[in-house]
Chains A and B, each alone.
Chain A
Amino acid sequence: MILLLEIKKLKRTGCLPAFLGGAVLAAAFPLLNMLVRSETFTALPGEPFRILTDANWQMMAMLNILTIICGACMIYHTEYANNGAQKMAVLPVRTYQIFWGKFAVTVLALAGMLLFEIAALELCAMHWFPDYHLQLTALAKNLCFSLIAALPTIILMMLIASVCQNMWISLGIGVILVFTVSVFPKENLFLSLCPFNSPYQTLALAAQNGSEWIFTLICAAETIIFGIAAFIFDNVRRYFL
């Protein structure tokens, strides 16, 4: 129920167009890449889907992260702009439920985006690599992996957006984090697990290092830890008001 309410609150905020725009932009990237220089990739040895993700996922993941940041800021901006948050705080609902509702909305939106993007990659693979056949299980695995890899980023960004009542501050923190993390070396497992860095990981790359399970488990654990932090913050914020 709280999920439906949170979706209702986003009416006319431009959140849906933002997520849609992010998805279209990210999905257009491999398409353009193939249209402009398909020979570079078709000539490469190896599995087509892997070739495509290696070539495009960095950029696509970056777009996803930026969309998450914008989305989180917009979602919490509706809450703070006209003080709707205060009204929620005096209604018989636990405010951390609102946090979870908003988190769930963002996860759903990102799942939609990822589905769209992975479908675009599959289409590219099928179109430019004649031997390639669509494997639905592989598609589903990739989708789940990428979604779980993005969870720590989503929840941390939601936490930041819920703490900073001014949207521009949360937006600034988010963008700074993106660029700080983008200089981290990608090979280091420990650093690649950081929020804002983990979405760059692909299932193929993780599987190659044999770390796909550790990776998903640690991302899930990070999500729970940030979730607990959000819960604690929610209980102590009254002391600062």
Chain B
Amino acid sequence: MNIIETNNLTKTYGDFTAVNEISLHIQKGHVYGFLGPNGAGKSTTMKLFLGLTQPTGGSFQIDGKTYPKDRVPILKTIGSFIEAPAFYGNLTGEENLDIIRKILGLPRQSVTDALELVGLTQFKKRLAKRYSLGMKQRLGLAGALLGRPPILILDEPTNGLDPVGIHEIRSLIRSLPQQFNCTVLVSSHLLSEMELMADDIGILNHGQLLFEGTMEQLRQTAKANGFPTDNLEDTFLAMIDDDNRKRGQIR
């Protein structure tokens, strides 16, 4: 069953198309890895899901609800982290999470849980603006995980984390579907991590969807097209390179 489905979703800025008629199918209980070079449109797609920006064309459904009619009900089911951590610098880590908790109407305990989950318990009384880069990132993740929402949208969650942190977050994301029947849409440039984490993969280039399917399907497609299949990184590089070359010819 698809919990997130898009239908020719498009976003243009002026005459530039950031997201070009993409149709994604994200299955419930899966970890969906979203790949693509810088500027491919990954963050823009995620922002569209969260109603942070208005689509220019196409539509999408999340958990059976359509945007923009059900914007608030959709947001109730999503925990998200987009690009950079968003927080109140004048509040402590704990106070930041408490604001989110109150809006979501969760019990007090959930803040303690989320802090523990991302390893910030020790620093919960420190002002968020005094956090280190990785600590801010962890705070953003805690905000997304608060209350264990059924859908998680994580944009480069491991950006700026130390190797231990990256490992922890990967294990956490990996365990979420089994533990809480959670669906995760995650983007990252760490392809080795993605390979260990994702069930399904979507590859974007210049706003267009190059591939969507399981890891196994990706290998088969790559083999059929004569791309290397040893690891995700080589396959990805060859695929993007090939697509860019084709685009060059069209122009």
Is the beta-carbon distance between A238 and B89 smaller than 8 angstroms? Answer: no
User: Which B residues touch A44, using CB under 8 A?
Assistant: none
User: Which B residues touch A89, using CB under 8 A?
Assistant: 50-52
Is the beta-carbon distance between A238 and B104 smaller than 8 angstroms? Answer: no
Return 23 A-B CB contacts under 8 Å, by A number.
A1-B102, A5-B103, A8-B99, A12-B127, A82-B85, A82-B88, A82-B89, A82-B128, A83-B84, A83-B86, A85-B86, A86-B82, A86-B86, A89-B50, A90-B51, A90-B78, A92-B73, A92-B103, A93-B103, A238-B53, A238-B54, A239-B54, A241-B52
**Is residue B148 contacting chain A, with contact meaning CB distance below 8 A?**
no
Q: List residues of B whose CB falls within 8 A of some A CB.
A: 47, 50-54, 72-73, 75-76, 78, 80, 82, 84-91, 95, 98-100, 102-104, 127-129, 143
What class of interface size applies to chain A in its complex with B? 20 to 34
Is the beta-carbon distance between A94 and B72 smaller than 8 angstroms? Answer: yes
Is the beta-carbon distance between B54 and A78 smaller than 8 angstroms? Answer: no
Shortest C-beta distance, B232 to chain A (Å), equals 29
Shortest C-beta distance, A133 to chain B (Å), equals 46
- Measured in the bound complex, the distance between the Cα atoms of B99 and A8 in whole Å is 8
User: Which B residues touch A37, using CB under 8 A?
Assistant: none
Is the beta-carbon distance between A92 and B99 smaller than 8 angstroms? Answer: no
Shortest C-beta distance, A155 to chain B (Å), equals 23
Given contacts A8-B99, A83-B85, A90-B82, 9 further A-B contacts (CB under 8 A): A78-B90, A82-B89, A82-B129, A83-B86, A87-B86, A89-B50, A91-B75, A238-B54, A239-B54
Shortest C-beta distance, B161 to chain A (Å), equals 19
- Measured in the bound complex, the distance between the Cα atoms of B83 and A86 in whole Å is 11
**Most interface-central of B98, B100, B128 (chain A CB within 10 A):** B100
Q: Which of A9, A90, A94 contacts B88 (CB 8 A)?
A: A9
Closest 6 CB pairs of A and B: A83-B86, A87-B86, A86-B86, A92-B76, A82-B89, A92-B75
Shortest C-beta distance, A186 to chain B (Å), equals 39
**Most interface-central of A12, A83, A91 (chain B CB within 10 A):** A91
Q: Which of B51, B85, B86, B98 contacts A238 (CB 8 A)?
A: B51
Is the beta-carbon distance between B87 and A83 smaller than 8 angstroms? Answer: yes
Contact with B along A66-92 (1 / 0, CB 8 A): 000000000000110111111111111
